[in-house]
Structure 1
Amino acid sequence: MADAKGNSWEEKDRANVLHGFTDFPSLKENGPVILTHGEGIYVFDVHGKRYLDANSGLWNNVAGFNHKGIIEALTAQAERFPGYHSFFGRIADVTVALSERLIGLSPFDSGKVYYTNSGSEANDTMVKMLWMINRRKGQPERRKIITRINAYHGVTIATSSMTAKPYNSEFGLPLPGFLHADCPHYWRFALEGETEEAFTERMARNLKDLIEREGPETIAGMFAEPVQGAGGVIPPSKGYFAAIRPVLREYDIPLVADEVICGFGRLGEMWGSDYYDIEPDAIIASKCITAGYYPMGAVILGEELTAALETACEAAEEFPHGFTAAGSPLGSAVALKALDVIENDGLIDNVRALTPYFLERLYRFGEHPHAGEVRGVGFMGAIEIVADKKRKTSFDGKLRISERIANKALEKGLICRPLGASVVLAPPFIITREELDTMFDLLEETFAAVFAEIG
Structure 2
Amino acid sequence: MESVFHGFTDLETLNRDGPVVLTHGEGIHVFDVNGKAYMDANSGLWNNVAGFNHPGLIEAICQQARRFPGYHAFFGRVADTTVALSEKLLQLSPFESGRVYYTNSGSEANDTVVKMLWMLHRRNGQPQRRKIITRLNAYHGVTVATASMTGKAYNAEFGLPLPGFLHADCPHYWRFARPGESEQEFSLRLARSLEEMIIKEGPDTIAGMFCEPVQGAGGVIPPSEGYFEAIRPILRKYGIPLIADEVITGFGRTGEMWGSVKYDLQPDAIVASKCITAGYFPMGAIILGPALGEALTRVSEAAEEFPHGFTAGGNPLASAVALKALEVIETEGLLDNVRRVSPRFLAGLKGLAEHCYAGEARGVGLMGAVELVSDKNSKAPLDGRLQIPERIANKALGKGLICRPLGQAIVLGPPFIITEAQIDEMFAILQETMAEVFSDVGL
Question: TM-score category by the smaller chain?
Answer: over 0.9
Q: What is the CA distance between 1:174 and its match in structure 2?
A: 0.2
Deviation of residue 389 (structure 1)? 1.3
Higher mean alpha-carbon deviation, 23-32 vs 46-55, is at: 23-32
> Are positions 1:200 and 2:187 aligned together?
yes
Structure 2 CA distance for aligned equivalents of residues 395 and 148 of structure 1: 24
Given candidates 237, 250, 254, the residue that maps to 1:267 is: 254
Q: In the TM superposition, what is the alpha-carbon distance from 1:416 to its structure 2 partner? A: 0.1
Structure 2 spans left out of the alignment, 5+ residues: none
In structure 2, what residue type is equivalent to 1:115? Y
Is 1:252 the counterpart of 2:239 in the alignment?
yes
Q: Deviations over 1:300-321 (max 9, x none)?
A: 1001101110111011000000
Residue 137 (structure 1) shift = 0.3
- Equivalent residue, structure 2, for 1:369: 356
| Per-residue CA distance 1:409-453 (angstroms, 9 max, x = gap) | 001000000000000000000001111111111111111111110
1:318 corresponds to which residue?
Answer: 305
Q: What does residue 391 of structure 2 align with?
A: 404
Q: Does 1:141 align with 2:128?
A: yes
Q: In structure 2, give the amino acid aligned to 1:143.
A: R
The answer to whether the aligner puts 1:449 opposite 2:436 as a matched pair is yes
2:273 corresponding residue in structure 1: 286
Match of 1:294, as an amino acid?
F
Q: How does 1:6-405 map to 2 (within 5 A)?
A: 14-405=1-392
Instruction: Look up the SS of the partner of 1:164 in the other structure.
Output: coil
Query: How far, CA to CA, are the matches of 1:283 and 1:96 in structure 2?
Result: 18
Shift >6 Å, 4+ stretches: none
Task: Give the corresponding residue for 1:9.
Answer: none
Give the gaps of 5 or more residues in structure 1: 1-13
Alpha-carbon shift at residue 196 of structure 1 (Å)? 1.2
Q: Which amino acid aligns with 1:50?
A: A
**Structure 1 position 193, deviation (Å):** 1.8
Counterpart amino acid of residue 154 in structure 1: G
Q: Distance in 2 between matches of 1:80 and 1:362?
A: 46
In structure 2, the residue corresponding to 1:17 is in which secondary structure? coil
Query: 1 CA distance for matches of 2:294 and 2:381?
Result: 49
Instruction: Name the SS of the counterpart of 1:15 in structure 2.
Output: coil
Alignment deviations for residues 75-104 of structure 1 (CA, whole Å, 9 cap, x no partner): 000000000000000010000000000011
How far residue 391 of structure 1 moved from its aligned partner, in angstroms, is 1.2
Percent of pairs with identical residues = 71
Task: State the Cα deviation string for residues 163-203 of structure 1 (Å, max 9, x = none).
Answer: 01000000000000000000000011111221111111101
Distance in 2 separating the partners of 1:192 and 1:440: 32
Instruction: Kindly state the Cα deviation for residue 388 of structure 1 after the two structures are TM-superposed.
Output: 1.3
CA shift for structure 1 position 339: 0.2
User: Tell me, what secondary structure is at the counterpart of 1:423?
Assistant: strand
Q: Distance in 2 between matches of 1:286 and 1:196?
A: 31
Question: 1:3 matched to which residue of 2?
Answer: none
SS at match of 1:269: coil
TM-score normalised by structure 1 residue count: 0.97
What is the Cα deviation at residue 353 of structure 1? Answer: 0.7
Distance 1:191 1:395 in 2: 21
Cα distance in 2 for partners of 1:88, 1:454 equals: 61
* Count of aligned positions: 442
Matched residue SS, 1:97: helix
What amino acid is aligned across from residue 271 of structure 1 in structure 2? W
List per-residue Cα deviations over 1:5-29 (Å, max 9, x = no partner): xxxxxxxxx1011111111111111
| Secondary structure, aligned partner of 1:16 | coil
**Quick one: which amino acid aligns to residue 209 of structure 2?**
M
State the Cα deviation string for residues 58-78 of structure 1 (Å, max 9, x = none): 000000000000000000000
Tell me how far apart the structure 2 counterparts of residues 267 and 200 of structure 1 sit (CA, whole Å): 21
Query: Take 2:142 and 2:299, find their aligned partners in 1: how far apart are those partners?
Result: 27
- CA separation in 2, counterparts of 1:366 and 1:422? 11
Mapped to 2, the partners of 1:395 and 1:382 lie a distance apart of 16
Cα offset, 1:221, TM superposition? 0.3
Letter of the 1:59 partner, please give it.
W
Alpha carbon RMSD of aligned pairs, Å?
0.5
